Amino acid sequence: MSARPFHHQRPLAAAAAAYGIGVWAGVLFSWHPLWWAAGLGASVLTVLLLPVNEKRRVTGFMACALFLGLLLGGFAAHPSLPEAGRCQVTGVLSADTVLREDGTAAGYLENVRYTGEAGERTIKKLYWTYTPDEEELFLPREGDRVTLTGKIYHPSGRVNPYGFDFRMYLLQKGVAAGVSGATDAMVLDHPGRGLASVIYGIQQSLGNRLRQVFGEESPLPEALLLGQKSNLPEETKQGFTDAGAAHLLAVSGLHVGLMAGLLLIPLRRWMGPKGQLAALSVFLLCYCAILDFSAPVVRASVLLLLAMFQRIVRRAPDPVTTLCAAFWFILLFRPLDLFSASFQLSFCAVLGMIVFSPLIAKPLEKVRPQALRAEISATFTATMGSLLPAIQIFHKFSLIGLLVNPVLCALFAVLLPAYAMILIVGCVSLPAGMWLGSLIRPVTQGMVSAVKWLGNLPFATVRTPQLPWYCVWAAVLFAAMCTRYVAVKPFSKKLAIGGAAVVMAFGVWRLTVCRDVQYVQLAMGQADSALILDGGETVVIDTGKYGGDTASYLLASGRRADHLILTHLHSDHCGGVAQLLEDNVPIGEVILPEGAEEQLIDPGCLALLDTLREMGAPIRYMHAGDSLQMGRVTLTATWPLAGTVRPGQNANRYCLALLCDLDGVKLLTTGDLTGDYEMYAAADADILKVAHHGSKNSTGREFLQAVTPEIALIPANAGSAVLPHPDMLERLAEAGIPAYHTGEWGALTITVRNGEATLIPYLNHEETK
């Protein structure tokens, strides 16, 4: 390899790296775009006016790319927002409204006009959620023009450590705001969306035909051909994930390559290379449109077309430059895809194949036949390339995937073309397609069953906590130094590898070292979930309604729910158990208040409790005076009183109240306890988590005088006029008790060290003692 620096040999790759850093910085900092534009202009002038040599030219182009990334990333991440508040909204649906499991409906409105206090305004797209009437189910379809009265809101970003970033999720779909509610909602007409409606209609028609042809086994072909995984059973998704083969369910390079190969078979007889390239370009453009131009499909299509073009012009392809061209192509149009899991995994997998293939070529020389050698090499290197993002995103990696993937890839190389051919036959003749589909159905069933079985093996996956940023960069440096793309002196290379190894070892040690006692009140909207961390032991107090952020915190920090305490069986406190089970979070024991199942509770919570019993999780009940002892933490129940629980009551009345001794600092958590019972649970405490999300009839003056807390924590949403209630906030203010509610501050972390507690809000990192 040439001794010239890497960025001089591959300027496009260097500029792509600078552009990616610029996008990241533009998203992170909300500085005025004029600064970025000025920097971009200065960089262009530098390239044009300064004397040209290789070093200055490459440096100038990298500066241009950096400021271009800052500009585009900043505009995409910090768009202008509509005024929040109630208004009249009119827009066209970009897809059918989806009815979710919790009874709410969701959709996207395009070309929106809304009328509020400031008059009539327009916005490109809004995310619409509402609760339809059960008797008169209102579910408009794609292309309908809908009018309604609702409340426009600005979506929040990440509010919990390791939590879901709802704002970024919507921004990646081109949505800057949402509207909730559906008062006076009605369909005005059906203008459609032109070409977009045609593409959507094709998607729906192909999906319907696949369901007709393959019957109950249609979800897998639908996912592999159309990228639609919504109908795929959760156990199937989980099986592929645990077997390290989840990437096969996402349409990417393997799928695009097989589809293109299927098309090229007849094209090679009828057309020359240029004609093949033109026909394939049209096909891939249409295929990308049907799959909504997802990053893996666009990346694979660009790479394939560039490779064909290079053959035609008889130019030796450079895989790194070609990959960077695809990187540029996607992020110039959609810069926020840089933060998408599918984008990161897709590009890292291909980069791993490019970088690591030469390293394992020699050990695989004796493997025969050559196709098997290529399959093993591709699988292993793609896994190594995507290892870091997989750990950071999913907090686990698959051991068995290294053995399973070569076999599954070979099987998919047969199944995918077969599915495509059967779909084509089914579009021409439905009976013939159904007959062919019945022949391949047992193969599909057998493969899915085998994948589930392999994924359930005890050694299939290894859970890993999220690595600190310095450990990630050290791992990247370590991998880079082991490749042929870094040309430095041997001593410098050994020094860099050794230093990176030391940093990685330090990061792993930091993940396992015993930490201070912490209490984390998660921000769950109008739901409730908290964690107590004592070294390696973890207590989960309620899980919220959905539990996604609770599960993410446990998985990302490498923890299990040693003690899962459910204060009462209402869905806003225990509905998230379903997510913990789905994510396979280990649960040591479940603790309930005495008589919990005899109260007026949500039926779904009973079903979750039955699932926990079936899994073998021990369940025990607590009443006032019972305690749970850990290393530096003691939890003592103060309510309900033994023998006083009456069946058939509102579960809030008998929810579990706990006095938590956190290494000398006392915290009283009262769940949803009502005001007429709260005095029974009162105990002197330094910190109070107010009851029932700060409702009007809880946390009375007499109760505050009995507890005498120094600060109060309120699990409630932002912008609500009901919770936390102004009367309750007034009572706290009268008593001189500072209040922190999660809707404003995000997750509230209390760290106890040497008998002193420090409160750090997630959305404002200033410490409060």
Please state the rounded mean pLDDT for residues 596-610. 90
Tell me the C-alpha distance between 297 and 295, whole Å.
Answer: 6
Using pLDDT thresholds of 50, 70 and 90, give the confidence band for residue 512.
Answer: low
The answer to whether the beta carbons of residues 164 and 158 sit under 8 Å apart is yes
Map tokens 């500029």 to a residue.
Answer: 15
Give the whole-angstrom CA distance, residue 51 versus residue 126.
49
Q: 451, 408, 416: which is closest to 251 by C-alpha?
A: 416
Distances (CA, A) of 700 to 319, 348, 683, 720, 732: 68, 56, 14, 20, 9
Q: Helices 341-361 and 295-312 sit at what angle, rounded to 10 degrees?
A: 50
pLDDT band at 1 (very low <50, low <70, confident <90, very high): very low
What pLDDT was estimated at residue 718?
Answer: 65
pLDDT of residue 116: 81
> Is the model more confident about 247 or about 689?
689
Contact 577, 547 (CB under 8 A): yes
Other residues' Cβ atoms within 10 Å of the Cβ of residue 204: 16
pLDDT surpasses 60 at 767:
no
| pLDDT digits 0-9 by tens, 542-589 | 999 999 999 999 999 889 999 999 999 999 999 999 999 988 899 999
Task: Count CB-CB contacts under 10 A for residue 560.
Answer: 18
pLDDT band at 11 (very low <50, low <70, confident <90, very high): confident
Evaluate whether 525 touches 720 at the Cβ level (below 8 Å): no
Phi, psi of 46 (to 5 degrees): -60, -45
Q: What is the pLDDT of residue 161?
A: 93
Scan for tokens 């003691």, then name that residue: 634
d(CA 10, CA 355): 14
Work out the pLDDT band at 49, boundaries 50, 70, 90.
low
How far are the Cα atoms of 302, 307, 378, 456, 463 from residue 381, in angstroms, in the given order? Answer: 21, 20, 5, 24, 20
* pLDDT at residue number 721: 62
The three-class DSSP label of residue 713 is: strand
**Phi, psi (rounded to 5 degrees) for 268:** -65, -25
Is 60 exceeded by the pLDDT of residue 3?
A: no
CA–CA dist 278, 271 (Å, integer): 10
Identify the pLDDT of residue 211. 92
Structure tokens at 52: 């040209």
- Other CB atoms within a 10 A radius of the CB of residue 483 amount to 12
Token duo for residue 497: 């590898």
Beta-sheet strands, E only, within 117-208: 119-130, 145-153, 177-189
pLDDT band at 271 (very low <50, low <70, confident <90, very high): confident
Closest C-alpha to 168, from 179, 181, 159, 155: 155
Q: Mutual orientation of helices 33-49 and 54-77 as an angle, nearest 10°?
A: 160
Amino acid (1-letter code) at residue 428: V
Q: CA-to-CA distance for 569 and 34, rounded, in angstroms?
A: 53
Alpha carbon distance 142, 199 (integer Å): 11
Residue 179 has a pLDDT of 94
Average pLDDT, the chain: 87
**Per-residue pLDDT at 669:** 95
Q: Say which residue the tokens 């508040």 belong to.
A: 85
- pLDDT for 520: 96
pLDDT in tens, 76-122: 998 888 888 899 999 999 989 988 877 889 999 999 999 987 788 89
Instruction: Give the Cα separation of 611 and 617 in Å (integer).
Output: 9
Span 484-491, average pLDDT: 73
Tell me the pLDDT tens digit for each residue of 191-230.
988 888 999 999 999 999 999 999 888 999 999 898 888 8
pLDDT at 581: 92
User: Residue 225 in contact with residue 248, Cβ under 8 Å?
Assistant: no
User: Of all residues in the chain, what percent are helix, strand and coil, respectively (each to 5)?
Assistant: 50, 20, 30
Q: What is the pLDDT of residues 677-719, one digit of tens each?
A: 899 999 999 999 999 998 888 899 999 999 999 999 999 886 6
Give the pLDDT of residue 169: 94
Query: Which helix or strand (DSSP H or E) is residue 636 part of?
Result: strand 633-639
Residue ranges with strand state E in 269-420: 396-398
Cis amide leading into 369 (omega within 30) = yes
Mean pLDDT of 597-610: 90
Beta-sheet pairing, 177-189 with 396-398: unpaired
Contact call for residues 542 and 569 (beta carbons, < 8 A): no
Above pLDDT 90, what percent of the chain? Answer: 44
* N-terminal to C-terminal alpha carbon distance within the chain: 58
Q: Provide the pairing of β-strand 177-189 with 119-130.
A: parallel
CB neighbour class for 647 (10 Å; exposed up to 12, middle 13-18, buried from 19):
exposed
Q: How confident is the model at residue 378 (pLDDT cuts 50, 70, 90)?
A: confident
Quick one: which of 454, 449, 443 has its CA closest to 402?
454
Report the distance separating Cα 212 and Cα 703, nearest Å. 63
Q: What is the pLDDT of residue 51?
A: 56
Which spans in 155-252 are helix H?
A: 166-171, 195-214, 219-226, 234-242
Strand partners, 233: none
Contact partners, residue 760, CB within 8 Å, separation at least 6? 748, 749, 751, 766, 767, 768
What pTM was computed for the model?
0.89
C-alpha dihedral (408, 414, 415, 421), degrees to nearest 10:
160
What is the structure's pLDDT at 710?
Answer: 94
Percent of the chain predicted with pLDDT > 70: 94
C-alpha dihedral, 488 to 494 to 497 to 503, nearest 10°: -120
pLDDT higher than threshold 90 for residue 675? no
- Is residue 230 classed exposed, middle or buried when 0-12, 13-18 and 19+ CB atoms within 10 A define those classes? exposed
Alpha carbons 139 and 143: distance in angstroms, whole number: 12
Q: Tell me the pLDDT tens digit for each residue of 331-355.
A: 999 999 999 988 888 888 888 888 8
Cβ atoms within 10 A of the Cβ of 268, count? 12
Distance CA 575, CA 604 (A): 8
Q: Which residues contact 181 (CB under 8 A, 6 or more apart)?
A: 130, 148, 149, 150, 151
Q: Token pair of 195, please?
A: 């070409």
Report, in angstroms and rounded to the nearest whole number, the Rg of the chain calculated over CA atoms: 29
pLDDT given for residue 307 in this prediction: 84
**pLDDT per position as a tens digit, 152-176:** 999 988 999 999 999 999 999 999 9
